A = this chain, B = another copy of it.
Amino acid sequence: MSQNIYDNQAFFDAYGQLPRSVHGLDGAPEWPAIKAMLPALNGRKVVDLGCGYGWFCRAARELGASSVLGVDLSAKMLQKAREMTRDSAIEYRQDDLNSLTLPGECADLIYSSLALHYLPQLESVFQQAYQGLKPGGWLVFSTEHPVFTCSPHQGWLVDDQGNRFWGVSDYQAEGERQSDWLAKGVIKYHRTLGTTINCLLNAGFMLRHLQEWGPTTRQIARLPSLAEEAQRPMLLLIAAQKPGSRGDEE
């Protein structure tokens, strides 16, 4: 069972102030990179694991998806998502991603943005995604990078010469990490990049693209605070595909 931190009122309120909450996908600097990794969505069925306010669900419909299922553990997030959505082809469901059951071979794309690092384990969610995808279907997700999650004492350090570093430690010690991001005692899970990739391969997926997201020069010029994201990888973006052909493509 994952911690339901988004239903904590203090966390929920603070989260609502983030650029990505106020401005949606345009407030998430990694969105252009993730968008470039998506398959064509015209007429496709989409599932969003950890849909939050439903920004991506609505974007997928604008990109032509025929239907979208958004899943989230947080009742508060789903209430907000429903308030923001006027579209009968988008369905929201409250569920824990670690015990979720999806209908077999139904989806063309399973998407997940910054949700998987809250899950105690990845095996079941990747297996569930695999069985829920049609042959040839895609799993595209972002998660916090292990260089970001590894240390129990997250932070920047400066050496004697004034050089600034992101501190890495405890990399091989996988498991729970507590941080005080937006609220006290937020629980996330550190896994090596190898563990995430091998888990994906073991579920049957083929890896198609891996990006350790960093800001473009233009993004830094527009928002100088993004510069530090070029110093250490904070986000991991992955596109994987279920083998086989969807049967409706040349």
Tell me whether A170 and B212 are in contact in the complex, defined as CB-CB below 8 angstroms, given that A151-B165, A163-B153 are known contacts.
no
Given contacts A171-B230, A192-B233, A198-B209, 18 further A-B contacts (CB under 8 A): A147-B147, A153-B161, A153-B165, A155-B159, A157-B157, A159-B167, A163-B167, A163-B169, A166-B169, A167-B167, A168-B231, A171-B214, A171-B232, A192-B212, A197-B207, A201-B207, A201-B208, A206-B206
- Cβ-closest chain B residue relative to A173: B230
Chain A contact residues: helix, strand, loop or mixed: mixed
A211 sits at the interface (CB 8 A): yes
Q: Which of B153, B155, B170, B210 contacts A231 (CB 8 A)?
A: B170
Give complex CA distance A165, B194 in Å.
21
Q: Are B157 and A159 in contact (CB under 8 A)?
A: yes
Report the bound CA distance from A232 to B197 in whole Å: 18
**Does A184 reach chain B (CB closer than 8 Å)?**
no
Is A193 engaged at the interface, CB distance under 8 Å to the other chain?
yes
Residues of A participating in the B interface, judged by any CB pair closer than 8 Å = 147, 151, 153, 155, 157, 159, 161, 163-173, 192-194, 197-198, 201, 206-212, 214, 230-233
Distance of A97 Cα from B210 Cα, bound (Å): 25
Q: Of the candidates B166, B171, B192, B209, which one forms a contact with A201 in the assembled complex, judged by CB atoms under 8 Å apart?
A: B209
**Chain B residues within 8 Å of A171, by CB:** 147, 212, 214, 230-233
Q: Is the CB of B201 within 8 A of A169?
A: no
Taking CB atoms, residues of chain B closer than 8 Å to A201 are 207-209
- Nearest CB in chain B: distance from A20 CB, A: 21
| A212: B residues at CB distance < 8 A | 171-172, 192-194
Roughly how many angstroms separate A163 CA and B169 CA in the complex, as a whole number? 9
CA of A155 to CA of B207 in the docked complex: distance in angstroms? 32
- Known A153-B163, A159-B157, A201-B207: A231·B169 in contact at CB below 8 Å: yes
Give the Cβ gap from A153 to chain B, nearest Cβ, in Å.
5
CB neighbours of A231 from chain B (8 A)? 168-172
In the complex, the answer to whether B169 meets A214 with C-beta atoms within 8 Å is no
* A165 in complex: contacting residue of B157, B173, B192, CB < 8 Å: B157
